[in-house]
Structure 1
Amino acid sequence: MKSSLDELAVLAAIVDAGSISAAAEPLGQTVSAVSRSLSRLEHKLGTTLMRRSTRRLELTEEGQFFLARARSVLAAVEDAEEQLALRRDQPAGRLRVNAASPFMLHVLVPLIGGFRERYPQIELELNSSDQIIDLLEQRTDVALRIGTLADSTLHARPLGSFRLRVLASPAYLAAHGRPTKVEALANHSLLGFTAPESLNTWPLRWSGGEGYPIEAAVSASSGETLRQLALADQGVVALSDFMTARDRADGTLVQVLATHTVDTRQPVHAVYYRNTALASRITCFLDYLAVEMATLAA
């Protein structure tokens, strides 16, 4: 683009003020600077925009044509700046969020209503994946990840943490007995993860130390699948509090080996690309989650 916005603004100011000298004060420039800016613009365009005389300035036909379009450009820029300022106070736009299915179902979905009521101009796009995704490839603004983060070029913001517990259904325990020692788990049907393997070391203190490695009778990639298996009386499972709070409250899952359980928490982070200025729609979403999750994780 040959012409700068400042030069367009100078041209409009000269026409509105009626002279170069009259335009200088509102522009905060010297008369000579305004004159040079107009000459520079005409040189770039290769045409005369204004006829100069001792008494007045008059737009040429080319000047009238160019000024009309310059005013449109200046108005569009001013409108964009106003809209951007408004978005800072009232965030708007599409926000693409990715999270593992259990976290999406048990944490995010119940909070979405309150968030939408507070920020009605943000359009949410919620995607679930039990695998770590490439944010750029999946066109994702923010991903919520549970557990210890691997080294990453992404920026990570901690949002909270949830306690791990070993659980089973009352019907399963009635049929197979309630274990009173950690070692007794070897005689039970244990439900574990296909990956990562670290989730198959349960937060239990036993004769071998802290952390009990299990051999799963049934494995699944999703914590929600394991939860459903436990609810279906298929075995003992270790899951995070965020997906079992209601089950424990209504008694469909109960904690086992509580006195042997080590207080272990799974951290939750929001990850997103590093930006010098984070979009307000992302900031308000993460601020909202941090406050609400503090209540859930208490």
Structure 2
Amino acid sequence: MGQSDEMAAFLRIVDRGGFSAAARGSALTASALSKLVQRLEARLGVRLLTRTTRRIALTPEGETYAARARDVLALIEAAETEVTAGRGRPRGHLRVNTSTAYARHRLIPILPAFFAAYPDVTVDLTVTDRRVDLVAEGVDVLLRTGVLDDPGLIARKVATGRRLICAAPSYLARRGMPVRPADLLNHDCIALHGQSRMTAWPFRDGEGISILSVRGPAATDSAEALQDMAIAGMGIIRVSEFMVRDAIAAGQLVTLLDAEHASEEVPIWAVTAPGRHRMPRVRAFVDFVAARAAA
């Protein structure tokens, strides 16, 4: 068995969560996979997995090896694809990560059409609003809005949007309507915690753009929970338009300070690690998302 085959087997164990699960549908037994990892650890001189009776977990060295193994296998696949271009359709497993709001309002509605167009591609979708290390967590495509700060990754802008400030009629009936940005300092403004930029709201004034630091009694790590808190009358939010468009149309939320709010363009990115962007299934997925977002 070559090194690339060992890497693939190791990643199958990691992705399936154990030797028995990895053995199902494989030419290797659970015992053979266990021995493969033992030989690999002996050759490298480090422990890659910690094993208990119920589960396995990556050690720090295992996390590094798994991330690099994914990159190596992606480069091999890309190289083979380039010399056999046009011979087949995109196929294989795709790991996608995005935020709760983008998943619910933009990505999930178009997935049936993607599967119809690419029946040989399967997707493992993880949804979270926390910051994700694309390489360490083995993600093929990361869909994210806002500013990107890792120049080592490959990013393609697939769409743009804007942000709105809004609140529920029930909140405004209780607390009053803010008529100028400074009024927000006396209101409950709620945002995603752990992201300081989400509490720095930009407004136009006579000299250009000024930043108002807002605050409130609550915060959350979920964009969907943020919208639900606003609809429940807990406070004022500033979020992407695509997320609250339906709630505004239904009268559950109303926009505030539209004239003063500096609603900057919000880019939506498809981010991949170097090498993986050439994989046919990755390229097909990103092209599909970009085309649907443009439409």
Q: TM-score range by the shorter chain?
A: 0.5 to 0.7
* CA displacement 1:10-44 (0-9 Å, x = unmatched): xxxxxxxxxxxxxxxxxxxxxxxxxxxxxxxxxxx
* Counterpart secondary structure, 1:114: helix
Residue of structure 2 equivalent to 1:97: 96
1:96-245 equivalent positions in 2, closer than 5 A: 96-206=95-205, 209-245=209-245
Distance 1:194 1:162 in 2: 22
Q: 1:264-275 alignment to 2 at 5 Å?
A: 264-275=264-275
| Distance in 1, Cα, partners of 2:276 & 2:229 | 45
Find the aligned partners of 2:193 and 2:276 in 1 and give their Cα distance: 38
Structure 1 portions without partners, runs of 5+:
2-80
CA contact (8 A) 1:182 1:205 kept: no
1:134-167 Cα offsets, whole Å, 9 max, x none, are 3333221111122100133111111122101100
Post-superposition offset of 1:194? 1.4
Please tell me whether residue 279 in structure 1 is matched to residue 279 in structure 2. yes
Partner amino acid, structure 1, of 2:287: D
The AA in structure 2 aligned to 1:146 is T
Distance in 2 between residues matched to 1:132 and 1:173, nearest whole Å: 32
Misfit runs of 4+, over 3 Å: 84-89, 206-209
Q: Pick closer, same or farther for the CA change 1:197–1:112 going to 2, 3 Å.
A: same
The aligned amino acid for 2:134 is L
Maintained 8 Å contact 1:183/1:206: no
Check 1:276–1:140 CA distance in 2 against 1; reply closer, same or farther (3 A cut).
closer
Q: How far off is 1:115 after superposition?
A: 1.0
The residue type equivalent to 1:242 in the other structure is F
| Pairs within 5 Å for 1:11-26 | none
Q: Tell me the amino acid that sits aligned with residue 272 of structure 1.
A: T
CA–CA distance in structure 2, aligned partners of residues 260 and 198 of structure 1: 18
Say yes or no: does 1:246 pair with 2:246.
yes
**d(CA) in 1 for partners of 2:235, 2:277:** 48
The structure with the largest alpha-carbon Rg is: 1
Once the two structures are TM-superposed, the CA of residue 275 in structure 1 deviates from its matched residue by: 1.7
Q: Distance in 1 between matches of 2:196 and 2:277?
A: 37
Alpha carbons 1:100, 1:145 under 8 Å: kept: yes
Partner SS for 2:116: helix
Q: Distance in 1 between matches of 2:153 and 2:256?
A: 38
Report how far residue 227 of structure 1 moved. Answer: 0.8
Aligned-residue offset at 1:133? 2.3
- One-letter code aligned to 1:248: I
Letter in 2 for 1:201: A
Gap change, CA 1:283 and 1:276, over 3 Å in 2: closer
Per-residue deviation, residues 79-110 of structure 1 (Å, max 9, x unmatched): xx89x958865211111101122222221111
Give the AA of the match of 2:241.
D
- Listed one character per residue, the Cα deviations across residues 191-233 of structure 1 (whole Å, up to 9, x for unaligned) are 1221210111113225794232112221222222211100111
Cα contact 2:166–2:255 (8 A) shared by 1: yes
Distance 1:247 1:226 in 2: 13
Quick one: which amino acid aligns to residue 100 of structure 1? S
- Residues 204, 89 of structure 1: CA spacing in aligned structure 2 closer, same or farther, 3 A cutoff? farther
SS at match of 2:173: helix
Letter of the aligned partner of 2:158 in structure 1? L
Distance 1:183 1:147, change over 3 A: same
Q: Which residue identity lines up with residue 258 of structure 2 in the other structure?
A: A
Q: Distance in 2 between matches of 1:228 and 1:206?
A: 31
Distance change >3 Å, CA 187–CA 277, structure 1 → 2: closer
Residue type at the aligned position of 1:266: V
Amino acid of the structure 2 residue aligned with 1:141: D
How many angstroms apart in 1 are the aligned matches of 2:253 and 2:167?
5
Cα pair 2:188 2:215 within 8 Å, conserved? no
Query: SS where residue 157 of structure 1 aligns?
Result: strand
Larger mean CA deviation between 201-210 and 94-103 belongs to 201-210
Assess if the C-alpha contact under 8 Å between 2:155 and 2:269 holds in 1: yes
Between the aligned partners of 2:277 and 2:161, the Cα distance in structure 1 is: 30
Q: TM-score, normalised by structure 1?
A: 0.66
Equivalents in 1 of 2:121, 2:276: separation in Å? 21
